[in-house]
Amino acid sequence: MKAKKNQQPPKKSMGMRIFILVLAGILLLSFVIFPLINMF
């Protein structure tokens, strides 16, 4: 944990983090939207 704190994260890992966040957001939106569509 301490070793990671001293090292600066490369841009590649930051891009992956954003990519994962976007994927997670799309999955959450789909789980929220699909039941609403089924209701109508």
Instruction: Report domain extents, the chain.
Output: 10-39
The sign one gets for the Cα dihedral 4, 5, 8, 12 is positive
Stated pTM of the model: 0.50
Please give the angle made by the CA atoms of 29, 37 and 32, to the nearest 5 degrees: 25
CA distance 31 to 11: 30
Give the pLDDT confidence score for residue 13 in this predicted structure: 78
The CA distances from residue 2 to 8, 9, 25, 35, 38, in Å, are 12, 13, 30, 44, 49
Query: Per-residue confidence of the chain (40 residues) as pLDDT tens digits?
Result: 565 666 665 666 778 899 999 999 999 999 988 888 887 7
